[in-house]
Chain A
Amino acid sequence: MRGRRLWAWLALILGMIYFALPLIGTLEFSLRMRRGEYSLDAYRVILSDPHFHATFGFSVLMALGTIVLGVLLVVPTAYWVRLRLPRWRPVIEFLTLLPLVIPPIVVVFGYIRLYNTSSWLPLTGSVGGTNLLLLFGYTVLALPYMYRAVDTGLRSLDVATLTEAAQSLGAGWITILWRVILPNVLVAILSGAFLTFAIVIGEFVLAALLNRPAFGPFMQLIGANRAYEPAALAVIAFAITWLCMGLIQLVTRFQKHTQIRQR
């Protein structure tokens, strides 16, 4: 009994070291820009870099666009599948999983082939069109997380009966989605949204190959040319991701009417 416990602790400690050591190393290294003492110089350099602001701002904007597009696409779809096409659920689920199986590089090459300037829909011919293409690409990448999150949220609702109750009270489809379904899967949507945010902020392949000034390529550029700043950037990127995770927890806790589900 005692021995087994010891092994459990050992495994846990090993696991923690495996995850924490590189992080601690990176953090430590990022603070050593000034010779002989710890300082925040690397962070200062990064945060005052105008490229950091431009690329980070671009990626945040893209992430928000992806979230909105994802919600508009996924919530009605998941709702309709649950309500009217339950037999299609495995098919839809499989489709939404495809982005995890098909590498982004394949997706983006497909896009470039389909939508290049000599195609029937030359999206890559303009900045706006390319941004749109990037947005669509991100939405595809975020699909597995978004769909799963929303579908799980819908599972905790009696979708069919709530829909009928709203219908008998005179509500049409838009009202039902907006006033009944959306507010009740908000926590699920938000957790999907924060995951999407984290993915889009760090995404490299789509942005690089579509030649858009996103945060991912900027990180790569810094990483290839500087010593201490990439470490600082990595720590910043981690902080953003963790902030997102923290926000998911916070939002879940603040939703009054979801308290019963946590009990």
Chain B
Amino acid sequence: MAFLEISSLQKDFGSARVVTDFDLAVAQGEFVSFLGPSGCGKTTVLRMVAGFETPTSGTIHIDGQDVVSFKPNQRNIGMVFQSYALFPNLTVAQNVAFGLRVAGRPKAEIQATVREMLALIKLEALGARYPFQLSGGQQQRVALARALAVKPKVLLLDEPLSALDAKIRVSLREEIRAIQQQLGITTIFVTHDQEEALSISDRIVVMHNGRADQVGTPFEIYNHPATRFVASFVGSINVLNGILLEPERGIVALLGDVQVHLGRPLAGRQNDEVTLALRPESVTLGGNGGGVQLKGQVESVNFLGSVIRLSVRVGGNLMLLDGFNQPSSPPPKVGETVQVSFGAEDLMVPGE
């Protein structure tokens, strides 16, 4: 049995089902992200693991023990909230010591642990400050230290970076990942930010309408999306509708008359509609990108720094393409007719 095992979890609020048939096995020391839009049920699953919500049905095992009947304060779980939730009347050191004091640990041990934790988050000098004297990023680090001080079995992070500004968000997420790996603590991280999830997770659970659409490594999720939703939610994507011409040989008609050989058999029957997906970075400006060559008109040019994103109208479809910025070759202008190309093997069939 995995360290954290969730089986057939279900949650209804009144007549609304917010979590449906949720299964997940998390290994000890693993970092798993729940990714999805708001209202997809990711926070509800997290809160059921923490004990703040009771499942309508299903089980949650932590370290071999069914914890569904346990109260939140009996589960030995560390939780970090989006709003930090530091106790405003306590200093940083007292906040970190809170869980240990509640557990009635000896004073010397509490002091040692608090020092260790403050060193871990690199805030040794600020132990005597009150939360209101800290920046948002510092407060969230204290919240992390407070959650870790009780040596929890599982660490739960509920959108911990959402209230911070962009720069801090990136540095703190790296810090969280480093601390998590250093301590080897099993962690669930809830976020609606795909870049966040992709960059720090061992595995990602993409959630949609209360279900786990796909569970996999960031590489799998990004490159082999299991559903159309995963394909469109994680990263930018071009969705192309086509007609299946020859399922066995994988020949599809795109944009009306362009025949594309995928080189692998596809599920379905002749003349079925198929949805194909293509990452913007798989499309190249000019004719060197692969076997599929198309012509279109540039509709917009977005300069994003290292990457330039073009949208090109091809037939009736708008196609996004990403290219690296090269100082020697400026991007085309809006309205220009350009050739774009991509390899047929880069076309993804969601769910394949």
**Using a CB–CB distance below 8 Å, which chain A residues touch chain B?**
157-158, 161-162, 164-172, 175, 179-180, 183-184, 186, 256-260
**Which of B75-83, B315-323, B331-339 touches A?**
B75-83
Is the beta-carbon distance between B87 and A168 smaller than 8 angstroms? no
Q: How far is the CA of A162 from the CA of B156 in the complex (A)?
A: 16
Residues of B within 8 A of A (CB): 50-52, 71-79, 81, 83, 85-90, 98-99, 102-103, 130-132, 143, 146-147, 150, 156
Complex contacts, A258 vs chain B, CB 8 Å = 88
With a cutoff of 8 Å between Cβ atoms, the chain B residues found around residue A179 in the complex are 87, 98, 102
**Given the complex of chains A and B, what is the CA–CA distance between A121 and B54 in angstroms?**
43
Do A164 and B88 touch across chains, with their CB atoms under 8 A apart? Answer: no
Set of chain A residues within 8 Å of B78, measured between Cβ atoms? 168
- Whether B150 pairs with A169 at a CB distance below 8 angstroms is yes
If A162-B85, A168-B77 touch, does A257 touch B132 (CB 8 Å cutoff)?
A: yes
Whether the Cβ atoms of B99 and A170 lie closer than 8 Å is yes
User: Do the beta carbons of A158 and B83 come within 8 Å of each other?
Assistant: yes
Within the complex, what minimum Cβ distance (angstroms) separates A106 from chain B? 40
A165-B132 contact, Cβ under 8 Å, with A171-B73, A183-B89, A257-B89: no
Write out the residue numbers on chain B whose beta carbons fall within 8 Å of the beta carbon of A183.
89
Given A161-B83, A162-B85, A166-B98, are A256 and B130 also a contact pair (CB < 8 Å)?
yes
Closest CB in chain B relative to A254 CB, distance in Å: 13
- Kindly state the separation between the CA atoms of A224 and B25 in the bound complex, as whole angstroms: 83
Task: Return B144 CB to nearest CB of chain A, in Å.
Answer: 12
B150, A184: Cβ atoms under 8 Å?
Answer: no
Complex Cα gap A48–B255 (Å): 104
Contact in complex: A164, B85 (CB < 8 Å) = yes
Taking CB atoms, residues of chain B closer than 8 Å to A260 are 88, 132
Q: Are A168 and B89 in contact (CB under 8 A)?
A: no
Q: How many A-B residue pairs have CB under 8 A?
A: 79
Contact, CB under 8 Å: A172 / B73: yes
Is A164 a contact of B87 with CB atoms below 8 Å? no
Residues of A near B103 (CB, < 8 A) are: 170
Q: Which residue of A lies closest to B146 (CB)?
A: A169
Task: Contacts A171-B73, A186-B89 known; list 13 others, CB within 8 Å.
Answer: A157-B88, A161-B81, A161-B83, A165-B85, A166-B98, A168-B77, A168-B147, A170-B73, A171-B99, A179-B87, A179-B102, A180-B89, A183-B89
- Which B residues touch A171, using CB under 8 A? 73, 98-99, 102
The answer, among B73, B90, B132, for a CB contact under 8 Å with A168, is B73
| Residues of chain B with a CB closer than 8 A to A158's CB | 83, 85
Partner pick for A257 among B83, B88, B150, CB 8 A cutoff: B88
CB nearest neighbor in B for A180: B87
Residue of A nearest to B74 (CB): A170
- Smallest CB separation, A178 vs chain B (Å): 11
Once the chains are docked, how many angstroms separate the CA of A157 from the CA of B85? 10
Q: Is the CB of B87 within 8 A of A184?
A: yes
Instruction: Say yes or no: A170 contacts B150, CB within 8 Å.
Output: yes
A186 neighbours in B (Cβ, 8 Å): 89
Across the interface, which residues of B come within 8 angstroms of A166, CB to CB? Answer: 87, 98, 102
Q: Which residues of A contact B76 (CB under 8 A)?
A: 170
Contacting pair A168 B130 (CB below 8 A): no
Contacts of A162 in B (CB 8 A): 85, 87
Contact in complex: B72, A167 (CB < 8 Å): yes
Q: Name, among A158, A162, A168, A184, the residue most crowded by chain B CB atoms within 10 Å (CB to CB).
A: A168
Q: Which residues of A contact B146 (CB under 8 A)?
A: 165, 169
| A158-B83, A183-B89 known; A168+B50 contact, CB < 8 A | yes
Closest 3 CB pairs of A and B: A169-B99, A260-B132, A168-B79
